[in-house]
Amino acid sequence: MIDYASNVNLKVNIGHGLNFSNIKFIKNRKKIDTVHIGHFIISEAIFLSLNETIKKFQRII
């Protein structure tokens, strides 16, 4: 769908449903305009701390 949307000149934004397990699938996608991960990061920070959550996400991407 990312390729199709890009081919018809749509911007591709992703975010809902992203987590540590599935973010790796979009890691090398160049056609994505915006990744909205704020809700996941804040929710996960309840368990890990904000600093650790951000570090973990950065290691993955």
Q: What is the pTM of this model?
A: 0.66
Strand ranges inside the chain, DSSP E: 12-14, 32-35
Q: Residue 4 has which token pair?
A: 């199709």
Q: Are 16 and 34 in contact (CB under 8 A)?
A: no
What was the pLDDT predicted at 54?
Answer: 92
What was the pLDDT predicted at 30?
Answer: 83
What was the pLDDT predicted at 11?
Answer: 92
What was the pLDDT predicted at 31?
Answer: 87
Task: Pick out the chain residues at pLDDT < 50.
Answer: none
What was the pLDDT predicted at 51?
Answer: 95
Q: Residue 47 has which token pair?
A: 């368990």
Residue positions counted in the chain: 61
